């Protein structure tokens, strides 16, 4: 048995023997990491057990007990909460209970002076069991006791789901409630008796060895109808009319009948015969039970025992148990992943209040710093992302990390980790990004990890690429002769190289002409790379102005106009369509932005960034030649104007993912990392099949690795999309792009203008927060969608957009987290449609968060 007296301090005589039952109870302090201790008002009347202390949870939404159990064992679990006005407020709490990731029952203590006790019969899927209290409103969850009792595995069997206790009573005129030690499994048997019944009993003990181990005091008494010719009736009304029921009836003949006399009757449940005709045996237990769940029409259940025509005596019943079926569809996170993350938690002392219960599910309680693949409730979720950046971690890199075998990205940056980089990281085949920067690691990076980098792994470390500190350079004594020989050979090699270089320069000097672009110093924090060399390497071309005119057929077909100038359609040799952007004389952007965009696009390569075909820099004529994106920009398609079709919700999600992947590459994949600075819907271009790519990098800036992750800069960008924090401080960082992307997400969701002075709240983020506080997501979604979206995916994207557009950069996710969440939202959307579930947006969940609009940015 596990018997926890919640709130009992370990120093207060723990464990102790509970006087009414004789069971050992102990403090709950070793089974939970959160909560505070309270004591009930001593003036209140005592209950079944003399509860004195309790544990309450004013902090966090989910607080969980973690109990060691045996996988596959049948357990009776009992939860008891007695408010007892412990806080002097006389406000009874209401909250939910979860078993692992699944809802069990709501605890509502209003008008329950003696408290509320709930039981469930449950078979754990692993050797660890989480029992979680979930805050659902303004009141504070609390608990008085938690009890677990193992049962035999061959009783209380269901087709599916678990059994929640509804009624368990024995039929007697006594008022004695039975539990342990009368019931060796500590089931609680209440009493029930009706005036239309008559009690019969015996002093002798019955044979109760049929597995259910019904207490002897239960089997010694029985009820029969007072009118022995009348049926025996019991009626119960369910709390929820649609509940499925499992029924257990216990019979034992308590009267020694003369030879030839017998008691025989039929059992009817809601008018239908429930089982075969029964003749209870003298002092021997017979249990009749459901093998499949039964229902009650209108929630009213009627049990009727009717004597047969051959029976000498009326029907008899000793006890009845009724259980409702509770479905627990969501399986727990992969057990190996849970064990691994708990070891990591223990090694680094990560006692976060959010790191309780199942790490991955439900999604709304996902542990901070984790992302999981959890698309199917019947498949154990797996951990794919672990972000412990800036958590003050000390010691070495935890060996348990290697047991997260499906991990795709690992971020341990900005901590105090020491020791060497372990080679096991190279064996984690799913890993695509490892960030170990800003730690105190030493030694060589394992060669196996460097080999993985050639295969696409992004490895971010401090110092030289192979060596994290000077400690990995070992000094060796070298013979003098060897030194002399090596020195002589080195001198000879240098002389030969100088001669060759001189000869090569002399040969090339007459024909070599520098490009104007390459003679200009690079902009702020941009890596210095010779453009002509990049052009040769990447097979880029520098075009003349006459070639530009030929490509565009003398600027015959304008595609649009931006801050840089007009964009024209063109084609090269009739085979490659391009978009040509010409710098206009009135443009607010100039040569600096032109040069920055060319330099950036020549060194970044990603499927979700518009690629540069070439450029023109000739006598004041500046032009950029891009790949052609046939479907224009995102803003154009959201508007539904100009004969463009309205984008479906799933298409919008995929566009958002594509754009987010492009930004993620700039922030993480580039070295040094890049900030776009002008993320907006008109800079997200759409190609065939609506593949999205980011464009317009004229305002971009880069950051040096190993230095600060922000720079001071003149505020630039588009009104409405500007990060208000950057606007106030002039400090630019990757999270400035995240803010702008959040505004784009809000455009995708709402199809509202970013700034609209005619609205009560002019900025789109302010307006969305205002609408959210009214609690109706349908009023926020683009009406052109006509409700054709899954409300759950829409709600998740909306929450993500509001996180991204948070005025405080500290509260925004990074782009990697944004990509993960958007992918899960798209998977949710597609799986819901694949399962044919209702797409009606009116079924959206109630809003449980409120947004303070005063903290949101105003329009500029």
Please state the residue numbers annotated as binding site: 581
Distances 32 to 106, 117, 764 between C-alpha atoms, Å: 20, 20, 42
DSSP conformation class of 583:
P
Q: Is 678 exposed, middle or buried (CB count within 10 Å of its CB: 0-12, 13-18, 19+)?
A: buried
Using CA atoms, how far apart are residues 97 and 29, in angstroms rounded to an integer? 19
Q: How far apart are CA 817 and CA 379, in angstroms?
A: 22
Farthest-apart Cα atoms in the chain, separation: 130
Do residues 857 and 726 make contact, with C-beta atoms less than 8 angstroms apart? no
E strand segments, 343-486:
370-373, 382-387, 394-395, 409-411, 416-417, 433-435, 458-460
Residue labelled with tokens 């004695």: 176
Catalytic residue among 358, 678, 696, 723: 678
Question: Which DSSP state fits 420?
Answer: B
Q: How far apart are CA 694 and CA 605, in angstroms?
A: 12
Q: Is 813 helix (H, G, I), strand (E, B) or coil?
A: coil
Neighbours of 183 (CB within 10 A): 20
Specify whether 186 is catalytic: no
Start-to-end CA distance of the chain, whole Å, equals 65
**Phi and psi dihedrals of 558, rounded to 5?**
-70, 140
Beta carbons of 190 and 236 less than 8 angstroms apart: no
Q: Which residues are annotated as a binding site for ATP?
A: 581
**What whole-number distance in Å separates Cα of residue 98 and Cα of residue 118?**
12
- CA dist 404 and 383 (Å) reads 7
Which residues make beta-bridge pairs with 301? 236
Q: How many CA atoms lie within 13 A of 64 on its CB side?
A: 24
**Nearest CA-CA partner of 209 in 256, 155, 144:** 155
Q: Name the packing angle between helices 764-772 and 734-750 (round to 10°).
A: 60
Map residue 724 onto helix, strand or coil. Answer: helix
Q: Which two tokens stand for residue 39?
A: 């004591």
Q: For residues 663 and 675, what is the distance between their CA atoms, to the nearest angstrom?
A: 8
User: What radius of gyration, in Å, describes the C-alpha atoms of the chain?
Assistant: 36
List the catalytic residues. Answer: 678
């Amino acid at each position: 048995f596990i018997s926890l007296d919640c709130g009992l301090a370990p120093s207060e005589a723990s464990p102790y023997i509970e006087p009414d039952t004789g069971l050992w109870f102990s403090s709950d302090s070793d089974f939970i990491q959160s909560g505070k201790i309270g004591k009930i008002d001593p003036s209140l009347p005592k209950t079944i057990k003399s509860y004195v202390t309790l544990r309450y949870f004013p902090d966090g939404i989910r607080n969980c007990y973690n109990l060691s159990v045996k996988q596959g064992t049948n357990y009776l679990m009992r939860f008891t909460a007695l408010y007892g006005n412990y806080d002097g407020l006389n406000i009874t709490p209401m909250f939910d209970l979860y078993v692992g990731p699944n809802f069990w029952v709501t605890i509502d203590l209003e008008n329950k002076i003696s408290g509320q006790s709930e039981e469930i019969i449950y078979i754990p899927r692993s050797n660890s069991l989480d029992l979680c209290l979930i805050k659902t409103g303004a009141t504070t969850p609390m608990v008085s006791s938690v009890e677990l009792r193992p049962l035999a595995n061959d009783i209380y069997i269901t087709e599916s789901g678990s059994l929640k206790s509804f009624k368990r009573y024995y039929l007697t005129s006594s008022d004695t409630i039975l539990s342990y030690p009368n019931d060796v499994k500590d089931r609680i048997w209440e009493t029930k008796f009706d005036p239309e019944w008559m009690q019969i009993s015996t002093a002798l003990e019955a044979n109760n060895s049929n597995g259910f181990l019904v207490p002897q005091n239960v089997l010694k008494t029985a009820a029969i109808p007072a009118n022995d010719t009348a049926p025996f009736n019991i009626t119960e009304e369910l709390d929820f009319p649609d509940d499925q029921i499992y029924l257990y009836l216990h019979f034992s003949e308590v009267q020694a009948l003369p030879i030839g006399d017998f008691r025989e009757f039929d059992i009817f449940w809601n008018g239908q015969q429930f089982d075969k005709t029964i003749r209870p045996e003298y002092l021997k237990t017979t249990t009749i039970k459901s093998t499949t769940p039964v229902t009650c029409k209108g929630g009213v259940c009627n049990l009727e025992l009717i004597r047969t025509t051959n029976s000498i005596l009326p029907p008899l019943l000793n006890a009845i148990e009724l259980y409702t079926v509770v479905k627990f569809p969501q399986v727990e996170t992969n057990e190996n992943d849970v064990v691994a993350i708990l070891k990591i938690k223990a090694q680094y002392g990560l006692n976060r209040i959010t790191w309780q219960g199942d790490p991955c599910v439900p999604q709304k309680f996902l542990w901070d710093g984790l992302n999981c693949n959890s698309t199917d409730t019947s498949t154990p979720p797996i951990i794919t992302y672990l972000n412990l950046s800036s958590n003050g971690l000390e010691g070495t890199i935890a060996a348990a990390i290697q047991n997260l075998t499906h991990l795709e990205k690992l971020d341990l940056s900005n901590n105090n980790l020491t020791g060497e980089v372990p080679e096991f990281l190279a064996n984690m085949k799913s890993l695509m990004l490892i960030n170990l920067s800003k730690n105190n690691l030493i030694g060589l990076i394992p060669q196996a990890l460097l080999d993985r980098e050639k295969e696409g792994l992004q490895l971010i470390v401090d110092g030289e690429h192979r060596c994290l500190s000077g400690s990995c350079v070992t000094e060796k004594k070298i013979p003098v002769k060897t030194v002399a020989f090596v020195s002589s050979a080195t001198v000879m090699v240098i002389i030969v190289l100088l001669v060759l270089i001189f000869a090569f320069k002399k040969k090339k000097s007459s024909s070599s002409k520098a490009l104007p672009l390459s003679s200009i110093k690079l902009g702020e924090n941009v890596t210095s790379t010779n453009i002509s060399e990049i052009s040769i390497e990447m097979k880029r071309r520098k075009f003349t102005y006459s070639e530009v005119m030929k490509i565009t057929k003398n600027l015959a077909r304008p595609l649009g106009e931006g801050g840089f100038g007009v964009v024209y359609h063109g084609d090269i040799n009739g085979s490659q369509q391009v978009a040509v952007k010409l710098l206009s004389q009135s443009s607010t952007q100039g040569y600096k932005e032109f040069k920055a965009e060319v330099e950036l696009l020549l060194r970044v390569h990603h499927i979700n960034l518009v690629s540069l075909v070439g450029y023109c820099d000739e006598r004041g004529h500046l032009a950029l030649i891009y790949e052609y994106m046939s479907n224009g920009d995102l803003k154009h398609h959201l508007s539904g104007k100009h004969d463009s079709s309205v984008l479906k919700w799933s298409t919008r999600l995929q566009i958002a993912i594509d754009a987010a992947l492009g930004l993620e590459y700039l922030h993480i994949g580039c070295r040094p990392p890049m900030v776009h600075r002008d993320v907006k819907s008109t800079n997200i271009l759409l190609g065939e099949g609506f593949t999205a790519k980011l464009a317009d990098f004229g305002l971009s800036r880069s950051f040096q690795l190993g230095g600060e992750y922000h720079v001071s800069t003149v505020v630039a960008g588009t009104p409405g999309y500007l990060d208000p924090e950057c606007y106030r401080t002039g400090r630019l960082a990757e999270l400035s792009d995240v803010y702008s992307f959040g505004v784009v997400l809000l455009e995708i969701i709402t199809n509202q203008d970013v700034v609209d002075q005619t609205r009560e709240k002019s900025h789109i983020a302010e307006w969305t927060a205002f609408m959210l506080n009214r609690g109706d997501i349908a009023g926020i979604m683009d009406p052109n969608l006509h409700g054709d979206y899954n409300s759950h995916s829409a709600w998740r994207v909306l929450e993500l957009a509001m996180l991204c557009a948070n005025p405080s950069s500290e509260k925004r996710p990074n782009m990697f987290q944004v990509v993960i969440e958007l992918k899960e939202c798209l998977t949710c959307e597609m799986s819901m449609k694949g399962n044919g579930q209702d797409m009606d947006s009116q079924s959206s969940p109630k809003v449980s968060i409120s947004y303070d609009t005063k903290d949101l940015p105003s329009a500029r």
